[in-house]
Amino acid sequence: MNVSQINELARRYGTPLFVYEGRKIKEHLGILQKTFKPVKGEIFYAMKANPRLAILRSFRKAGVGIEAVSWGEVRTALGAGYKGRDILFNGNGKTESEVDSAVQQGVEWFNFDALDQLDILEWVAKKHKRKLYALLRAKPEIKSVTHPHLAVGERGSKFGFLRGEIPEILRYAKKLKYALLSGLHTHFGSQILNVAPFLQAARFSRDLFEEIRQEGFPMEMLDLGGGFGIPYAEKDTSLDFKALTEGYREVLAGFRGRVVFEPGRFLVGSAGVLLTRVVSVKRGPGGDFLVLDAGMTENIRPALYGARHRIVSIDDARLMIDYTVVGPVCENSDCFGNFKLPEMRRGDLVLILDSGAYGSSMGSIYNSRPRPAEVLVLDGKLSLIRKRDSLPSLWMGET
């Protein structure tokens, strides 16, 4: 995008505005397809990263499945044209009614994190006189690879079973007639930029999968989760996909069964920017604050995970100044960090980069702030894919 296109978008749709580039989504999909090809890995997009219908439709057309974690997500994927059989339903707190609704729509694969969750699968399957396929979620116990909020494969995590708990789970699962234990699921964390933990988790999963198969279960799917990171901060490096490809090839050589991955962030994160306007420049003894019209309501990642997203001006031809960049929300944590930027004036536009994943999807209406509009540029065509919230919709909910 050039400066005049950016100005035009801001004029037409207002700010803040999420802008996604379909070309970058395709490019990143291509990188993962190439990485998983030697192990015939299937991709199920973790739609929690960005659930916009237009984005889901483009994945559907590319032959990508869906990883959903609530009935709301399953329903959204169906709305984008997905069939139940292309949706994998994960989550540690699925209700009976959510599972029931999903089964009625043809969803067949569910993970489980607890025995009562497996019970729900059995009851619902029995009620519909159908077989369901259950994926046991295991904790590979991989330590400190990412921010503690995102490290979900560790001992104390609410997700999955520890190795030592598994024999009992298997004894229990053996008695079930409708929910068939047919797969193993691991997802140990998110925003991971090193290759080693992915391979460590893959080795753990492969071995455990084979052990469960030896116990006589009809093991079919090895789901290795998501977690593939993107460079956000200036100092971040990219994941080494060549090493990952080689590693998976080696770890999964001779593996019999379906290999599945659930990437979210990597597919959409770098494809989105948050276009925002400077609403105030506050000079003072404590430094210069640059106040944007976007904040933690549009991107909670800095406040929640201490994340740093690069922020750039659309006009670099000015003197560079140190700013603390903040949003307009009434919280001190509504802060994007310190940045050197060209001298800013009220009304100037800046871009918050890598905002395609977990920006809009984690957005809130705190301070009665309407959620921004979102646009997608795909095959040279610009479309409005979500309207800005109207205030009445915040008061009453959509009708």
| Contacts to ligand LLP by CB under 6 A | 46, 49, 67, 90, 150, 187, 190-191, 225-228, 262-266, 301, 305, 358, 362
3-class SS at 321? Answer: strand
The DSSP symbol for 179 reads E
- Cis-peptide, bond into residue 16, ω within 30° of zero: yes
Report CA 255 to chain centroid distance, whole Å.
Answer: 27
Pairing of strands 132-137, 381-386: unpaired
CB of residue 265 to ligand LLP, shortest distance in Å: 3
CB of residue 91 to ligand LLP, shortest distance in Å: 8
Residue with tokens 């057309």: 61
Query: Which residue's CB is nearer to ligand LLP, number 32 or number 251?
Result: 32
Q: Which residues of 27-61 are buried (b: 16+ CB within 10 A; e: fewer)?
A: ebbebbeebbeebebbbbbbbbbbbbebbbbbbbe
| Alpha-carbon span 49 to 25, nearest angstrom | 13
Which member of 317, 319, 330, 396 is catalytic? 330
| Alpha-carbon span 225 to 241, nearest angstrom | 16
Amino acid, res. 279: V
User: Nearest 5 degrees, angle CA 93-CA 99-CA 101?
Assistant: 135
Query: Which residue's CB is nearer to ligand LLP, number 198 or number 323?
Result: 198
Query: Which residue's CB is nearer to ligand LLP, number 6 or number 151?
Result: 151
Query: Which residue's CB is nearer to ligand LLP, number 105 or number 361?
Result: 361
Helix, strand, coil percentages for the chain (3-state, nearest 5): 35, 25, 40
Whether residue 330 lies in the annotated active site:
yes
CB-based contact 238:231 (threshold 8 Å): yes
Pairing of strands 349-352, 373-378: unpaired
DSSP per-residue string spanning 84-120: GGGEEE--S---HHHHHHHHHTT--EEEESSHHHHHH
Query: Which residue's CB is nearer to ligand LLP, number 137 or number 277?
Result: 137
| Alpha-carbon span 125 to 217, nearest angstrom | 18
Query: Which residue's CB is nearer to ligand LLP, number 6 or number 41?
Result: 41
Query: Which residue's CB is nearer to ligand LLP, number 262 or number 348?
Result: 262
- With a CB cutoff of 8 Å and minimum separation 6, the contacts of 375 are 9, 13, 17, 18, 19, 20, 382, 383, 384, 385
CB of residue 114 to ligand LLP, shortest distance in Å: 15
CB of residue 32 to ligand LLP, shortest distance in Å: 10
- Residues annotated as part of the active site: 330
